[in-house]
Structure 1
Amino acid sequence: MTLQIPDNVNLFDEMVKQAKLHPKKVIIEDTQNKFTYKKFLIAANIMSKKIREVVDDEKRIGLFLPNVVPQAIVLFALFKNEQQPCLLNFTMGARNIIDCIQTASLKTVMTSREFIKKADLGYVLEEMEKEVKIIYLEDLKAGISTMHKISGLVEARVAGLKKREMSEVILFTSGTESKPKGVVLTHRNIYANIMQVKEHIELSEDDRIFNPLPLFHSFGITVGAVLPFILNMKAFLYPSPLNFRDIPKAIYKDKSTLFVATNTFFANYAKFATKKQFKTLRIVVAGAEMLKEDVRETYKKKFGITILEGYGATETSPIISLNTPEHVKEGTVGTLVPLMEAKIAKVEGVEEGGNLMLKGPNVMKGYLIHGKGFVPCGEWYNTGDIAHIDDDGFIHIIARLKRFAKIAGEMISLNKVEELAMGCYGSSDFYAVSIPDKRKGEQIILFTTKAKVSTREFKKFIKSKKMSMLYMPSSIETVDEIPLLGSGKANYWKMENWAKQNN
């Protein structure tokens, strides 16, 4: 039977269906809170009323909150109100956050005093206050009356009688290339992706998801905050993916079975985790950046875990393809999830593969562009990734289209430069960027945290592999640490700026 996705979906209504069936099940937890379906539904009802009292007439509401249960409550309260949450990336910096606010035409942003203080974001808040009204969750909570509580309880008992219209969620691209774009995802897009994943990989209501990824990250919101409520699978929200020593302990304590992170984060968790702490993990998925061979091998040897590589984009809600325990091909990002179609468009100068184009029910409605407004997505979404699909349907990501340098007329993959560096030096801690060069068009700068790296050794290695010397970086720069985006990806834009300043 072919997977069917209804045309009109409201994620609050979908949550209510499960809450009615499993009222006493603990469905979501963080380091300070634990909620059953019933308690969560009541809290979302109360919050929806409080939001209506202060911003009843606004379609879009900005959220500037950490990865904790209260943010999930606000999210579902907005779903109930048929309002659109716009999740702001608090790691972006003040200028980009203001751009996001302007792009989405926000008038109000919800945040928390405790969060602002702990994250030391007072200076960002000062800039935001020049643009929008700030509402603090602490103030809303303080204003909850006995009548609010009674109303929330009564509504929880009769929930499911009213059908709500489908609404939207707005996430933002990281803004590493220009001003951030708003990605408009409908409830149907997100619901479709959850159903696609359920069909693609074996999940159980006994599974427990550990989510350290922020909800402004598309995987964080879809898999870490919405999927648990729709599929009746408990989630643990951890406030920061950067607590490398404590996260393995938290996974052990929660007895989590599903864990998703980036290559960079996995490399750091492995330094502190024990095999015992990861023993309950059943499915471990790497996404957002290429899984590097040394990290893959570390997890196999140290923990007995095969990391399954997946692939996604904010614009696809986010999951596009995924290896599964039954169908895995290392070095690939798996096969397409159901209902997705792909085609490869030829790119001039690129010999292997081409531009990956996609369509499916999980593909976004369109973009919000700064100064332009809404731009609908075409029939095919252009990923900007160079890929090829093998005879078994597995997708091989070769590079981002923007992750090529044009040197002396040749297209040189920056991913390949990093791969060669790993082969030479035995570590994946290498990051290649390209900058303009008057003589050759562009030049490659390689960043690493490894000290005393021999360029002569790298030249000999490239020659031994019979590769063109165009893959040899102009220089190899040692830095104290590699900058990261809030999603856990390496911040190539920042390294590119470093390279331009120093060359």
Structure 2
Amino acid sequence: MTLQIPEEINLFDEMVKQAKLHPKKVIIEDMQSRFTYKKFLIAVNIMSKKILESAGHEERIGLFLPNVAAQAIVLFALFKNEQQPCLLNFTMGTQNIIDCMETASLQTVITSREFVKKADLSFTLDEMEKQVKIIYLEDLTNGISTLHKISGLVESRVAGLKKRKMSDVILFTSGTEAKPKGVVLTHRNIYANIVQVKEYIELNENDRIFNPLPLFHSFGMTVGAILPFILNMKSFLYPSPLNFRDIPKAIYKDKSTLFVATNFFFANYARFATKKQFQSLRIVVAGAEKLKEDVRETYKEKFGITILEGYGATETSPIISLNTPQHVKEGTVGRLIPLMEAKVARVEGVSEGGNLLLKGPNVMKGYLIHGKGFVPCAEWYNTGDIARIDEDGFIHIIARLKRFAKIAGEMISLNKVEELALECFGTSDFYAVSIPDRRKGEQIIVFTTQSRFSPREFKKFIKSRKMSMLYMPSEIRQIAEVPLLGSGKPNYWRLEKLAKE
């Protein structure tokens, strides 16, 4: 049977179907609250009315909220209203956030006083308030009347009778090279990705997802906050992926079976976790950045866990490929999920692999560009990643196209420099960037938080591997901590800036 994706989908309607079948099942939980489908549906109905009362039928509404169940309620309330949520990344800095609001032509942003205070974002909010109307969740909830509650309950009983139009969700790129771009995903894109994953990897209704990734991160949103409601799988939203000591405890308490994070986060959880705390985990997936060999081995040896490496992009809703418990090839990001097509385009100067191009029902509608408006996606989405696909269909990501340095006319992979440092020094805590060089075109600077490293030893190691000495960095610098993006990836743009200084 061929997998079919309907042309018109509204994610609120899809949630209602499951809520009708499983009203008493606890479907979402955070540190302070838990909701059954029935309670969640009533809350969504009430919230949808409160948003319309406060913001009217504005096409797009900004969300500036932490990783809690209340944000999922607001998300589905907007789906119900056929409005477009624009999820703002509160870690990207005030100017980038202002740029995002301008890119999406936002008039209203929903946030929380408690969140702004805890996250120390008062200055950012003051600047935002100069541009848009701010609505506080606390005011929306305090203004809920008996009539709202009765209406929400009645609507939950008749939910599903009206079919809603399909709408969009807008996420934003990190804006490290220019102003952030808005990635426009339709409800169909997101629904397709959920169905593609369900078809590809064995998920069941008893699975429990642990999601510490913020919802402005496409994986956090799709897998952590939408998939659970569509596939009837409980999700636990944890407020920050940076609580390295407490997250293993929370996984143990929740008896979570599915856990997704980045290499950086996995490395840090391993420092504090015990085997017992991770014993309930059935599927553990690494994405967003390359899984380093030392982290992979630590999880095998310490916890008996095989981390399955996957690959995705905000523009693909986000999942593109995945290793599964049945089909694993270490060092790859797995095979394409169903209904996706890929081709590799040659890149001048790159000897292995080429530019990875994709198409499928989960590929975005297009971009919102600052000052230009909406730009539709081309037939093939250009990932900007250099990859090769082997004879078994497994994808090998070699590097970002931007993660190459051109030295003396040669294209040198910065990922390869990091891999060589791992082999030489036994830790993946090395981060390579390139900066302009008058003589050679570019030079490589490597940053590390390690105190024990020897450039001379690294040079000898590169020679012993019979590699070109162009892989030898001009300098290895020690730093106190690695700057991160909100997604948990190393912020190479900040490191590059540091290198130039």
Q: Report the residue type matching 2:273 in the other structure.
A: A
Matches within 5 A, 1:88-487: 88-487=88-487
SS in structure 2 of the partner of residue 277 of structure 1: helix
Q: Report the residue type matching 1:252 in the other structure.
A: Y
Where does residue 64 of structure 1 map in the other structure? 64
1:39-67 deviation line (CA, Å, top 9, x unaligned): 00000000000001111131000000000
Q: Distance in 2 between matches of 1:2 and 1:480?
A: 52
Where does residue 11 of structure 1 map in the other structure? 11
Matching of residue 22 in structure 1 with residue 22 in structure 2: yes
Structure 2 unmatched runs, 5+: none
Q: Distance in 1 between matches of 2:325 and 2:129?
A: 48
Q: Distance in 2 between matches of 1:115 and 1:159?
A: 31
Q: Report the residue type matching 1:229 in the other structure.
A: F
Where does residue 33 of structure 1 map in the other structure? 33
Q: Report the residue type matching 1:459 in the other structure.
A: K
CA contact (8 A) 2:57 2:83 kept: no
Q: Distance in 1 between matches of 2:179 and 2:457?
A: 40
Q: Distance in 2 between matches of 1:31 and 1:176?
A: 32
Matching of residue 83 in structure 1 with residue 76 in structure 2: no
SS in structure 1 of the partner of residue 199 of structure 2: helix
Q: Distance in 2 between matches of 1:95 and 1:283?
A: 38
Q: Distance in 2 between matches of 1:340 and 1:190?
A: 14
Q: Distance in 1 between matches of 2:42 and 2:133?
A: 27
Q: Distance in 2 between matches of 1:372 and 1:482?
A: 34
Q: Report the residue type matching 1:13 in the other structure.
A: D
1:153-191 deviation line (CA, Å, top 9, x unaligned): 000000000000000000000111111000000000000
1:458-488 deviation line (CA, Å, top 9, x unaligned): 0000000000000000000000110111100
1:335-375 deviation line (CA, Å, top 9, x unaligned): 00000000000000000000000000000000000000000
Q: Distance in 1 between matches of 2:57 and 2:114?
A: 27
Give how far 1:96 is off: 0.2
SS in structure 1 of the partner of residue 223 of structure 2: helix
Q: Distance in 1 between matches of 2:213 and 2:450?
A: 27
1:101-144 deviation line (CA, Å, top 9, x unaligned): 00000000000000000001001001101110000000011110
Q: Distance in 2 between matches of 1:96 and 1:490?
A: 18
Q: Report the residue type matching 1:157 in the other structure.
A: R
Q: Report the residue type matching 2:465 in the other structure.
A: K
CA contact (8 A) 2:385 2:399 kept: yes
* Identical-residue share of aligned pairs (%): 84
Q: Detail structure 1 runs of 4+ shifted over 3 Å in the superposition.
A: none
SS in structure 1 of the partner of residue 367 of structure 2: strand
Q: Report the residue type matching 1:230 in the other structure.
A: I
Q: Report the residue type matching 2:23 in the other structure.
A: P
Q: Distance in 2 between matches of 1:452 and 1:217?
A: 34
TM-score (norm 2): 1.00
Q: Report the residue type matching 1:12 in the other structure.
A: F
SS in structure 2 of the partner of residue 463 of structure 1: helix
Structure 1 unmatched runs, 5+: none
Q: Distance in 1 between matches of 2:232 and 2:364?
A: 25
Give how far 1:499 is off: 0.2
Q: Distance in 2 between matches of 1:137 and 1:429?
A: 40
Give how far 1:452 is off: 3.5
Q: Distance in 1 between matches of 2:477 and 2:193?
A: 41
Q: Distance in 2 between matches of 1:142 and 1:211?
A: 28
Give how far 1:329 is off: 0.2
Q: Distance in 2 between matches of 1:243 and 1:343?
A: 39
Q: Distance in 1 between matches of 2:306 and 2:202?
A: 16
Give how far 1:453 is off: 1.4
Give how far 1:214 is off: 0.1
Q: Report the residue type matching 2:185 in the other structure.
A: L
Q: Distance in 2 between matches of 1:218 and 1:141?
A: 27
TM-score (norm 1): 0.99
Q: Report the residue type matching 2:471 in the other structure.
A: Y
Q: Distance in 2 between matches of 1:452 and 1:232?
A: 49
Equivalenced residue count is: 501
SS in structure 2 of the partner of residue 239 of structure 1: coil
Q: Distance in 1 between matches of 2:451 and 2:23?
A: 56
